[in-house]
Amino acid sequence: NFLFKQNCQLVLFACNTASTQALRKIQQEYIPVDHPGKNALGVIIPACEEAAKSGNSIGVIATESSVDSEAFIKEIQKVNPQAQVIQQACPLLVKLVETGESDVEILDKVLIRYLKPLVEEKIDTLVLGCTHYGLLEEHIQRVLGQLGSSAKIIHEGRVVATRFKDYLDRHPEYQLRLSKNDTRMFYATDMSKNFQELGSQYFGQEIEVKKAIL
């Protein structure tokens, strides 16, 4: 509601847990009543479609809520019914990213713990099923190699960016309503110093964060 009141025409749920828990209800019930003509999109389906085309033994690392929803299994098998999908909940990874943990030894220990069971299942594809995990891609790739796996990594950020461009090309009605002035605004519900610092680090340039009043 906050974002739509900022005149956003499209909202991308860059969170798998939110996509599994709330997106469908928002798309089908909330938007048609309160914000007709606008839309919200998620990140799970594009990543699952890409994974389903990439392999037949697919590992998914995600939050416990996303794993419990089995959304990745359902969406991957819609495209590739023969695919074996092995999920692994990784409750520690989000905290490591959000605290900016950079100690390689700590990261390796945690990643080995989570990735080893998937490698033992001989996965050929690995979905980074949480937006945070993309920031650990190089570490994940390295640990997979240490464990003897050459599994292809599906990075949701890159997949979703490409699919989102395709979506806009197929929906010129949104193109006409979107600003082309390249303005970026960053809001947070928690104005912690840590968020400001890590946000700038991860974004690759200094960002100014404003308080979102909900």
Positions annotated as catalytic residues are 15, 130
Token match 């990261």: residue? 107
Q: Distance between CA atoms of 73 and 96, rounded to whole angstroms?
A: 26
Q: Burial, 136: exposed, middle or buried (Cβ in 10 Å; 0-12, 13-18, 19+)? A: buried
Tokens 């946000």 correspond to 199
Query: How many Cα atoms within 13 Å fall on the side-chain side of residue 204?
Result: 1
Bridge-based pairing state of the strands 84-89 and 39-41: unpaired
